[in-house]
Amino acid sequence: YFNKKAIKIKNFVNFVNENYDGDLDKFLGKDLPTLREQLLSIKGIGPETADS
């Protein structure tokens, strides 16, 4: 399980790096519907994780 979790975290970090120049505040500054949509586009993140 921990290996899969690490891969999901890495996918998220890569997404923020590629789309927001690694700036987490820039990512979190988006409105909630946009954040949810973007989170769901990341492999390994489903509705339960995106909505929590």
pLDDT per position as a tens digit, 13-38: 999 999 999 999 999 999 999 999 99
The phi and psi torsions of 31 (rounded to 5 degrees) equal: -70, 160
pTM of the model: 0.85
Asked whether the beta carbons of 38 and 30 are under 8 A apart, the reply is yes
Query: d(Cα 31, Cα 9) in Å, to the nearest integer?
Result: 21
